Chains A and B, each alone.
Chain A
C-alpha cells in the first residue's frame, strides 16, 4: 500500500540534501541581497506549507490567512515594544507566543467560517480579512496607520539576515514535519475525504466539523509565527502590509503552482515564485510587475498544469520509466484491469477481477 513507498530511501536522501542546503545556504552565499531573498523564500515556504495543510488537503480555499500573518506580526511587535525590549535574540522568544495568538484567533474564525459551504467559505474568509485589516488601521493599541516600529535587532550588519533566516528555517522544518505527519495520518485521510466527498465522509463517522477546525487552527499557527519573524525582520509594520490583500492569493498561487495537496509542491512553488518576485523587484525596480506575472502564471498553471508542476513532472517520469500497461495508477480503469491476473478471494467463492464491471 501507499504507506510503504518503494522510493523511501531516495526520498530520505533528497530530504537530507534539502536540509543541508537550507542550513548551509547563508554560510555560502553571504551577499545581503541574496540572503534577504532567501529569508523571504524560507518564510513563504513555511507559510505555503501551512496554508496547503488546510486548503490543499480539505479543498476549502482560505483567502484569510493574512489575518494570522498580521496577528503574528502585531503580537510580536506590540509585546516587544510594550515590554521595551531592546532587540537581540530574546525577541524571538515571542515567536511561539505569536503562533499561539494566531491559533487562538483561528478558533472563532474557523468556527464561524467553516459552517458554510466551500464557495461561501472563500467569501467569508475575504470578509474576515478586511475586518481585521480595518481593525488594525483603526484600533488605538495597534497605533493605526502610523504602524508600529520595533527596536532594531542589533545584529552584526554583515550577516544581519541570518537570525531571521534561521528562525524561519526552524519554523519551516517544524511545519513540514507536522504536515508530513498529517498527510500520512488518519487525520490526513479524513481531510482528503472531506475534500472529495464531505457529506459522505460525515455519514461514515468522520467528525467533519472538528477535523476541519483542527486543521484550520493548525495551519494558522505557523503562519502567525512567520508573521512575527517578518515583523521583527522588517522592523516596522503597517496595517496594509501586515494584513495584505495579495498575501493569500500569492500563497494560493504558490501551492497551485507547485502542486496543491502535496508535501513538496508548496515548498517548491514558494521557492520559485518568491525568489522570482524578489528578483524582479530588485533588478527591475518595478514594484508591482510581479502581480501581472503572477496573474499570467496563475492562468497558465490552471489551464496547462491543473495538478501543479511537481505532480505533472512525477507523472511524466513514471510514464517514461514504467513500461506501458504496468502503470495501473494513471491509466484508464478499463485498460488497467485488463491483463491483470485474477485474484482469488479468501473466502470459499472465487472472485474474478479481470473484467471491467
Chain B
C-alpha cells in the first residue's frame, strides 16, 4: 500500500461467518484512488464475500467499510451504487428479455416524479448518446437491438460493465471479468480497463487469471482464509513464496478439520 495516497476505499477488520466457516476473518484492505487494484486468492478465500460486504449485498458482523472517508457500513446496495460504486458479478446479472440498449437505461439516474416517469419515453437524447458511446466502446453496439439473453457469456460480462458505466461510477468492482472469456479478448478487456482507468476510474478486480491481474494491476492484494495477508506490486506478489503457499498449500477443506 502506497503511503502517499489517502485510502479511497477502506475495509477495516471485516468479519463475516457462515455457520462455523469464517468467510471474512478480520479482513482489511485499502484501495487508492485512480489505481487498478487486484484481489487474488484461492477459491473460498473470501474474495466475493468481501465484494458483497463492500457493495452492501451482505452485512458484516464486525468491522467497517469507508468510502472517501465516510462509513458505508450497513448501507444497501442501491445506496452504495448511488455513491458511485459499481460492481459486476461472477455470474452475470443482465436483463435477459430486454434489448441490450434497454439494459443501458436501467441505471440512468434521472430526477423526475413518478407520473412523469410513467409518461415520458425512456432515455433522453443525451442518455441515448451516452449509451451508444459506451456500447461502441465495449463493442456491443451492433447488438443494441438484440435481446440481452441472446448474448454469449463474454458479451454478457461486457454488457454488465457497460450498463454500470452509464451511471458513471468512480469505483468499479469487477468480479472475475476475464473468467470464461476467450483468451484473445482478455487482452482487449484489459485495454478497456486501462482506458477507463486513464479517465480517472478506480478499479478493484477479483480474478483467477494471474497473468491478467499481474500485468494489469498497479497493486495486488492476496487473500487467504478470509483475510488479506499481503499487498504489493505485481512483481512482489509474483515472487512471494507465501502466495504460492496460499494457492498450493493448505486446502480449505483440511483447514476446516484442523481448526477446532
Contact = CB atoms under 8 A, between A and B. Distances in A.
B157 A357 contact: yes
B147 A329 contact: yes
Interface in A241-269: 261
A346 B123 CA distance: 20
Given A2-B99, A192-B97, A201 B145 contact: no
Nearest to B151: A333
Contacts of B122: 3, 184-186, 188-189
Interface in A295-319: none
B118 A182 contact: yes
Interface in A174-190: 181-182, 184-190
A181 B147 CA distance: 21
B141 interface: yes
B139 A202 contact: no
Given A185-B117, A185-B121, A353 B77 contact: no
A331 interface: yes
Contacts of A328: 142-143, 145-146
B107 to A, nearest CB: 4
A357 B93 CA distance: 17
Interface string B97-116: 11101100111111010100
A355 B195 contact: no
Instruction: Name which of A188, A332, A337 has the most chain B CB atoms within 10 A of its CB.
Output: A337
A87 B110 CA distance: 48
Interface stretch (A121-129, A139-147, A203-211, A273-281): A203-211
A357 B195 contact: no
Contacts of A197: 93-96
Contact of A348 (B114, B119, B147, B195): B195
B150 A332 contact: yes
B67 interface: no
Given A196-B97, A355-B182, A356-B155, A1 B145 contact: yes
A201 B137 CA distance: 23
A12 interface: no
B54 to A, nearest CB: 13
B102 A192 contact: yes
B139 A349 contact: no
A29 B188 CA distance: 66
B145 A210 contact: no
A189 B98 contact: yes
B140 A204 contact: no
A347 interface: yes
Interface in A335-357: 336-337, 340-349, 351-353, 355-357
Contacts of B109: 205
A127 B137 CA distance: 50
A137 B119 CA distance: 39
Contact of B167 (A193, A205, A343): A205
B142 A2 contact: no
Contact of A187 (B98, B117, B144, B150): B117
A351 B138 contact: yes
A353 B139 contact: yes
Contacts of B123: 1, 3, 186
B121 A357 contact: no
Instruction: Name which of A2, A186, A341 has the most chain B CB atoms within 10 A of its CB.
Output: A186
Contacts of B157: 357
Interface of A: 1-3, 181-182, 184-190, 192-193, 195-197, 199-206, 210-211, 214, 218, 261, 328-334, 336-337, 340-349, 351-353, 355-357
5 contacts: A211-B114, A329-B99, A353-B140, A356-B182, A357-B155
Given A186-B123, A197-B96, A329-B99, 20 more contacts: A1-B128, A181-B119, A185-B119, A185-B122, A186-B117, A187-B118, A189-B98, A196-B97, A197-B94, A199-B93, A202-B78, A203-B55, A206-B78, A206-B106, A336-B143, A337-B155, A340-B142, A349-B192, A352-B185, A356-B152
